[in-house]
A and B are shown apart, each in its own frame.
Chain A
Amino acid sequence: MTDFLAAAIRIATPLLLAALGGILSERAGVFAVGLEGMMLAGAFAATIGAWLSGSAALGVALALLGGAAIGLTVAIVAVRGRADNMVTGLAANILALGLTSYLLRVIAGGSGRPVAIHLTPLPPWPIPGLVEIPVLGPLLFDHPPLTYLAVLGCVALTLLLGRTQVGLTLRATGENPEAVFASGADPLRVRMLAVVACGAIAGLGGAVLSLQQVGTFTDGMTGGRGYLALASLIVGRWTPWGAAAACLVFGAAEAFELRLQTFGVPVSSYIVQMAPYLIALAVLAGLGRTSRLPAAIGQRLDG
């Protein structure tokens, strides 16, 4: 059971980081469909950085940059260029998929087939003292560094959104950009920065996959996790802790699917794999009338 819960946490971590980035973007009024591409770019940059430099820390730093680069692309086209948010996000995802596969072969392969990059996945950092607690200790306090960072990110983002002037301006930009403009701030700038920051944080989520869990980069390795992160932030109603809960549910569903045979449950693994998407749909459908979607999300800023 502990093993199952630990797996759920492990699977939820990259989703949560991406979802935290997505919350920044959506609360500022820009749909975060580009999360998949941002994660992928982060995973790629982290792998290449750590492989070339031999330093995982540099890999993590590059993951921030890689994700932010995709964020900047989305920001320029969708926010400054006023194009449709969602389609721009899709385009950025296609670009990230192509660019990472292409550059992987150019940087690490030469022609056609990439050389295999093997990195030692980041080791767990047990927290002294706390890890000794029976059951809870090994479950909660024996994780690799980026997992703690995801939890800290939840705390930080909650404080930022709820307790700071910056957070207030950001939320106001998502609800009523005219009011932000009238108050002397520049909603366009706020949205640009929010989307770039979203990219950087989602890039970290990608680094969790490549540096912390797999130890290499493979083509399209995010495999739809960016979209799952998008679903989780919606299910979590655009709040960090809500998104964290949703990510854990999705993580548990996947961990359960991996252990179906062990548990001896007569359900097809494909049906179980559908669970996250069906839960997201069900929550969205139930949300319908009482939605707390930022009021001005997806709207263009004119003038």
Chain B
Amino acid sequence: MSEPASSLPSAVVADTGGRLPGFRVVVAGLAGRILLAVVLSMLCAAALIALSGHNPLTAFAAMGVGAAGSAHQFGAALNRTTPYLLAGSGVALCFRAGVINIGAEGQIALGGIGAAAVALGWPTGAAAMAVPASLLGAALAGAVWAALATAIHLGRRVHEVLVTLLLNFVALLLVQQALAGPLGQFGAGFLQSPLMPRMAWLARVPGLDAHPGFAIALVAAAGLSFLLWRTRFGFALRVLGLARPAAAYAGFSPARLTWGVMLLAGALAGLAGGIEVLGVQRRLIEGFSLGFGFKAVTVALLGALEPLAVVPAALFVGLLEAGALSMQRQIGVPSALVAVIEGLTMLFVLAATVRRA
């Protein structure tokens, strides 16, 4: 398949007069417009809340309290944020290189399988290594899934969106297959694995009820940002995203760069799946990754495709979701409002950040 020109990576770059734009230009130039997009979608949400017969301010207040009213609630919101941040910063890197990877969902699912397989089979004699080994298994499984997508994309020249999208569905079914077979708990009534052995659980921070996943995700985001702006690999990625021919002319191999960025994003998404299984569910559950992949795309766009800016973006989505559940319980505004806000924000960001010719 021919490669259609994507308008995405160049689209999120402010006008720089021909020079490769630096960190400050790119991120600061977009912050205002993205904030505007968030405000606009929150206004739409307020209108929808009013439509349901509730006071928008009361609803937003209930959301705020639900998201961060207590240390315990804030911890739960951080747990929710973690997979979005991990997968989203990887997606951001891919998009910046012009690789529209929307396969985070499948990579997260495979990460869950990887973590569960290692954790359930890990010898009790080496209990101290159970968590790192399981997380490594998760990252590897995610990277393998991304590698499969990349091999089909580059080897057979199929558009990466279609490959990653179709593989997402296959991955979800693979989780079900794994749970119906080797990883499943028989007689559970639904598709789930047995409880992970305690040695493989991620510890929870006392009082906060958060697992250390968020800290891992922060480090990963910082690392990716460094990679993007301070290394030759990152420079090549940015050139590739802005002008494919220029990257090839400069001697960078588009294929090798695509492999690099896909494997990296796949490993991070896999890690996100592993953390979800070991830190939150403590089992592998059918459909545990449902919707995570698209949210990774949401936060990547909301974070202007800059890994460090994905941190507040992921926090916004994580807090919103945690808060919305509590809003539904407290005052009865349906929590589906969150998906409306996410979809609208994405559309407004897309519309607001396109570079005008």
Q: Which residues of A contact B (CB under 8 A)?
A: 31, 33, 73, 76-78, 81-84, 86-88, 90-99, 101-102, 105-106, 109-112, 219, 224, 227, 230-231, 234, 268, 270-271, 273-274, 277-278, 280-281, 284-289, 291, 293, 295, 297-300, 302-303
Do the beta carbons of B177 and A96 come within 8 Å of each other?
no
State whether the Cβ of B298 lies closer than 8 Å to any Cβ in chain A.
yes
* Nearest 6 A/B pairs, CB to CB: A98-B339, A95-B343, A111-B332, A298-B4, A101-B336, A91-B346
State whether the Cβ of B43 lies closer than 8 Å to any Cβ in chain A.
no
State whether the Cβ of B6 lies closer than 8 Å to any Cβ in chain A.
yes
B85: shortest Cβ distance to chain A, in Å? Answer: 18
Do the beta carbons of A298 and B152 come within 8 Å of each other?
no
Say which size band chain B's interface belongs to: 35 or more
- The contact string, 1 if C-beta is below 8 Å from chain A, for chain B 1-37, is 1101111100100000000000000000000000000
Query: Which of A33, A87, A105, A298 has the most CB atoms of chain B within a 10 A radius of its CB?
Result: A87
Q: A106-B51, A224-B169, A281-B152 are in contact. Are A99 and B351 (CB under 8 A)?
A: no
Query: Which of A95, A98, A227 has the most CB atoms of chain B within a 10 A radius of its CB?
Result: A98
- A300–B5 CA distance with the chains assembled, in angstroms: 8
Do the beta carbons of A81 and B48 come within 8 Å of each other?
no
Nearest B residue to A102 via CB reads: B336
Instruction: Please list 24 pairs of residues, one from A and one from B, whose beta carbons are closer than 8 Å in the complex, sorted by A's number.
Output: A33-B161, A33-B165, A81-B354, A82-B7, A84-B7, A90-B294, A91-B298, A91-B346, A93-B294, A94-B343, A95-B339, A98-B336, A99-B339, A101-B336, A102-B336, A112-B334, A273-B173, A274-B173, A281-B166, A284-B162, A287-B1, A295-B2, A299-B5, A303-B357
- A105–B340 CA distance with the chains assembled, in angstroms: 14
SS class of chain A's interface: helix, strand, loop or mixed? helix
- The contact string, 1 if C-beta is below 8 Å from chain A, for chain B 316-357, is 000000000000100011101111111110110011001001
Q: A83-B11, A227-B169, A287-B1 are in contact. Are A102 and B156 (CB under 8 A)?
A: no
B4: chain A residues at CB < 8 Å are 31, 293, 297-299
B38: shortest Cβ distance to chain A, in Å? Answer: 14
A302: chain B residues at CB < 8 Å are 357
B102: chain A residues at CB < 8 Å are 86-87, 90
B11: chain A residues at CB < 8 Å are 82-84
A234: chain B residues at CB < 8 Å are 162
B340: chain A residues at CB < 8 Å are 95, 98-99, 102
Do the beta carbons of B169 and A98 come within 8 Å of each other?
no
State whether the Cβ of B163 lies closer than 8 Å to any Cβ in chain A.
yes
- A102–B100 CA distance with the chains assembled, in angstroms: 29
Do the beta carbons of B5 and A87 come within 8 Å of each other?
no
- A94–B52 CA distance with the chains assembled, in angstroms: 20
- A31–B5 CA distance with the chains assembled, in angstroms: 12
Partner of B350, one of A83, A278, A280, A281: A83
A219: chain B residues at CB < 8 Å are 336
A99: shortest Cβ distance to chain B, in Å? Answer: 5
State whether the Cβ of B297 lies closer than 8 Å to any Cβ in chain A.
yes
- The contact string, 1 if C-beta is below 8 Å from chain A, for chain B 138-173, is 000000000000001001111001110111011001
A24: shortest Cβ distance to chain B, in Å? Answer: 18
- A19–B163 CA distance with the chains assembled, in angstroms: 18
B51: chain A residues at CB < 8 Å are 106
State whether the Cβ of B263 lies closer than 8 Å to any Cβ in chain A.
no
A83: chain B residues at CB < 8 Å are 7-8, 11, 350-351, 354
- A231–B176 CA distance with the chains assembled, in angstroms: 22
A242: shortest Cβ distance to chain B, in Å? Answer: 16
- The contact string, 1 if C-beta is below 8 Å from chain A, for chain B 281-305, is 0000000000000100110010000
Do the beta carbons of A84 and B158 come within 8 Å of each other?
no
- A59–B176 CA distance with the chains assembled, in angstroms: 36
A153: shortest Cβ distance to chain B, in Å? Answer: 24
- A227–B176 CA distance with the chains assembled, in angstroms: 20
Q: A77-B350, A285-B152 are in contact. Are A97 and B173 (CB under 8 A)?
A: no
- A109–B163 CA distance with the chains assembled, in angstroms: 39
Do the beta carbons of B157 and A98 come within 8 Å of each other?
no
A102: shortest Cβ distance to chain B, in Å? Answer: 4
A168: shortest Cβ distance to chain B, in Å? Answer: 22
B336: chain A residues at CB < 8 Å are 97-99, 101-102, 105, 219
Nearest B residue to A106 via CB reads: B52
- A31–B11 CA distance with the chains assembled, in angstroms: 17
Do the beta carbons of B180 and A285 come within 8 Å of each other?
no
Do the beta carbons of B297 and A281 come within 8 Å of each other?
no
Query: Which of B7, B11, B48, B341 has the most CB atoms of chain A within a 10 A radius of its CB?
Result: B7
Nearest A residue to B337 via CB reads: A102
Q: A84-B11, A94-B339 are in contact. Are A281 and B351 (CB under 8 A)?
A: no
Do the beta carbons of A288 and B1 come within 8 Å of each other?
yes
Partner of B301, one of A87, A101, A102: A87
B165: chain A residues at CB < 8 Å are 33, 227
Do the beta carbons of A293 and B152 come within 8 Å of each other?
no
A90: chain B residues at CB < 8 Å are 102, 294, 297, 346
A102: chain B residues at CB < 8 Å are 48, 52, 334, 336-337, 339-340
Do the beta carbons of A277 and B170 come within 8 Å of each other?
yes
A103: shortest Cβ distance to chain B, in Å? Answer: 8
A297: chain B residues at CB < 8 Å are 4
Q: A82-B7, A285-B156, A297-B4 are in contact. Are A270 and B166 (CB under 8 A)?
A: no
- The contact string, 1 if C-beta is below 8 Å from chain A, for chain B 260-288, is 00000000000000000000000000000
- A285–B301 CA distance with the chains assembled, in angstroms: 29
Q: A83-B354, A98-B337, A98-B340 are in contact. Are A288 and B156 (CB under 8 A)?
A: yes
Nearest B residue to A291 via CB reads: B1
Do the beta carbons of A97 and B339 come within 8 Å of each other?
yes
Query: Which of A106, A230, A271 has the most CB atoms of chain B within a 10 A radius of its CB?
Result: A106
- A279–B299 CA distance with the chains assembled, in angstroms: 31
- A152–B353 CA distance with the chains assembled, in angstroms: 41
Do the beta carbons of A84 and B334 come within 8 Å of each other?
no
Do the beta carbons of A284 and B297 come within 8 Å of each other?
no
B298: chain A residues at CB < 8 Å are 91, 94
